[in-house]
Chains A and B, each alone.
Chain A
């Protein structure tokens, strides 16, 4: 199967280093303390944050930091074939863990000891790069909730098909059997906080693919920054009240 045609175009018409269209919005779940939607092409997810609030299960309370919890769910209609089980399956549990660990690393949990922060991520449409979209949505939702973070976390995936590194894989490309590298970075601190890969790649190719994913993360970062700055701008409009 040809994933990159002789003219250098992918199945959806993109160039190898081209990202899908990004769309994001803050405050989409009005009853949550913070929320956001994030779209990468046809992949659409929503994240909602509740907290910091009182720990619900005493036995889980931590004296020196906030408890961060995360649940990942996929809607029945999110994949091409209807899913029977939307929660509790192995993949969902694994992704919940990955998102929790990634966000926990950037949240300043020691500032809110003995409290709880819940992050709920809901996938509406899955077309590749789902875990990246979830992390990006979670970053926005946490910022919307005012949860202190040492940096934003942004994420993007990249792969290698037909001997070409490809940025931001969609579902077809992801299921092609080539490598799929997901990266999460803390852009200002210039650190990689998440790195996952399926399949095998020679070292030098892996470096290229990872570097491509990092570039993707940076592109996501500038989009996320823009949204947050625009949102903060509304406070300027209100001419700054109080200290």
Chain B
């Protein structure tokens, strides 16, 4: 194996050994998702692409329907229950998350938001550990509401964590760029594989939503063509 893994940017599957730590003494490396240390070997536990980012982080890039909560991530959650102190929110993770009723800018006991079951919320993960219900907040790090909060109108659809990352990447991905040229719309992307779209006309919302859903497995070139075709059909 050696200290220079030849698996970087290559697809790997569970069980593959990608690093031999015995030849990397006196080095600190960070292991991200999808990798586990087993004595001297670093093994792949999720199928995907092995990535490396300087100075010393390795992780597996993969795309799935379900989500592993990570602190700092912005996600789209759905209220499933209400308690005195918090809302229970489904974020497509191993456990239901909770959003304290006071986790809102200027939140006090007197102005607790009235969220019904089924309300869609753009929110941020502030605490996440395996085996513990993740904690959410509708405030950014400085206590401001920012874009967090309930999302009214529009349409939300489920996709994959990979699609979410693509939609949030920069430079802007081809499908959003293509849509943005002809359509005025709002979009909220949850890293947990949920996307919300809103626009003035229902037809625009449906067009944008379908274009994004279609782009899941397309290359950049294919995305551009697909969006152009869709826009042409309507105009």
Contacts and interface: CB of A to CB of B under 8 A. Distances in A.
Nearest to B133: A114
A53 interface: yes
Nearest to A226: B13
B127 interface: no
B52 to A, nearest CB: 10
Contact of A241 (B34, B45, B93, B169): B169
Interface in A85-121: 108, 111-115
B26 interface: no
Nearest to A52: B94
A240 B168 contact: no
Nearest to B131: A113
A234 B219 CA distance: 9
Interface string B115-140: 00000000000000011000000000
A188 B95 contact: no
Contacts of B217: 234
Contacts of A150: 14-15, 36, 38, 43, 45
A144 B162 CA distance: 13
B219 to A, nearest CB: 5
Contacts, number: 127
Given A186-B15, A234-B217, A238-B166, A115 B48 contact: no
A237 B165 contact: no
- Output the residue of B36, B61, B168 with the most chain A CB within 10 A: B61
Given A243-B32, A243-B61, 14 more contacts: A33-B64, A53-B66, A53-B94, A115-B95, A143-B14, A150-B43, A186-B15, A188-B43, A232-B48, A232-B49, A232-B62, A235-B62, A238-B162, A242-B169
A112 to B, nearest CB: 5
Interface residues of B, number: 43
Interface residues of A, number: 46
Interface string A25-52: 0000000011000000000000000011
B65 A34 contact: yes
Interface in B50-80: 51, 53, 57, 59, 61-66
A114 to B, nearest CB: 5
A207 interface: no
